[in-house]
Amino acid sequence: MIRCVIVDDESHPIEVLKHHLSQFDFFEVIASTNDPIEALRIINEGNVDLLFSDIQMPKMSGMDLARLVHGKTNIILTTAYSEFAAEGFDLEVIDYLLKPISKARFLQAANRVLKYFYKKESAALGPETLEGDYIFVKTEMKGRVLKINLIDVDYIEGMRNYVAINHDGQKTLALLNMKDLEDRLPSSFFVRIHKSYIIAFPKIRMVDGHRLYIYGRDEGFPISDSYFSSVQERLQSKLI
């Protein structure tokens, strides 16, 4: 879960953000407040992954708060004014949302957050990285070859003579078999859990018995008996 704190001096924008966040099962709002000093205290206590902060607030501006928590948590700025955008990105915020925040715009922000945390998790797996790595696949359309960035891949599903590569919010059918694709993918970042499924390891959010769940998808994937031990071994390397 991505643990979130929301701070805004008005209550309505907080409720809007809570509603948007509730549409995604990988976000957890652990606190919300109208007081930036209180938000600073919560973040300094640790274990906050993402701060949503308004910019124009009494007591302390969102920019000042962002400077104080820089390096302690990730930040998305929210405001009704666009003139602060350049300064916000100088502070390496993940996104800058203009109020009123629409569902479509929040979806873009959520995808950006996922990619950001995916890259961090990928980097934690070792010196090898998916950044810039890609494959070209022959699609079901005759003569069409598509480039797919591996960092965008969520999972791959076997479908008889095809595989369905789920990436960046879309599905691409490719003229491949699962074994050939599995051999091509970097094993540090992809794990076979079933004869029909390959999962991007950094996208895993939970394993519950013989079911595996990824960020951005409610339905779980089955882990077959033949792959269960290898999946457990992969998880063991990160278990604390």
Q: Is residue 21 located within the same domain as residue 52? A: yes
Where residue 234 falls among pLDDT bands split at 50, 70, 90?
confident
Q: Is residue 17 part of a domain?
A: yes
Domain boundary among 103, 124, 145: 124
> What is the Cα–Cα distance from 57 to 47, expressed in whole angstroms?
24
Q: Is residue 104 located within the same domain as residue 143? A: no
pLDDT digits (tens, 9 = 90+) for 7-60: 999 999 999 999 999 988 789 999 999 999 999 999 999 889 999 999 999 889
Q: Looking at residue 52, what DSSP letter applies?
A: E
> What is the Cα–Cα distance from 55 to 61, expressed in whole angstroms?
5
Look up the pTM and report it.
0.58
- At CB < 8 A and 24+ separation, what contacts does 124-128 make? 125/188, 125/189, 125/201, 125/202, 126/188, 128/186, 128/188, 128/189
pLDDT at residue 118 is higher than 80:
no
pLDDT digits (tens, 9 = 90+) for 139-185: 877 778 889 988 889 999 998 888 999 998 889 998 888 988 998 89
Answer for the pair 7, 40: CB distance below 8 angstroms, yes or no. no
Q: Is residue 111 located within the same domain as residue 142? A: no
CB atoms within 10 A of CB 11: 10
Residue 49 backbone zone (phi > 0: left; psi -120 to 50: alpha; other: beta): alpha
DSSP-based helix, strand, coil % in the chain, nearest 5: 35, 35, 30
Q: Is residue 129 part of a domain?
A: no
Q: Is residue 171 part of a domain?
A: yes
pLDDT digits (tens, 9 = 90+) for 120-138: 665 555 545 555 688 898 8
Q: Is residue 109 located within the same domain as residue 32? A: yes
Q: Is residue 113 located within the same domain as residue 28? A: yes
Q: Is residue 14 located within the same domain as residue 113? A: yes
pLDDT digits (tens, 9 = 90+) for 65-112: 999 998 899 999 998 877 766 666 677 889 989 999 999 999 889 888
CB atoms within 10 A of CB 202: 23
Q: Summarize the confidence of residues 213-238 as an average pLDDT.
A: 87
Q: Is residue 68 located within the same domain as residue 175? A: no
Q: Is residue 62 located within the same domain as residue 145? A: no
- State the pLDDT at residue 127: 44
Structure tokens at 77: 């700025």
Domain CATH for 8 = 3.40.50.2300
Q: Which domain holds residue 220?
A: 134-236
> What is the Cα–Cα distance from 221 to 230, expressed in whole angstroms?
15
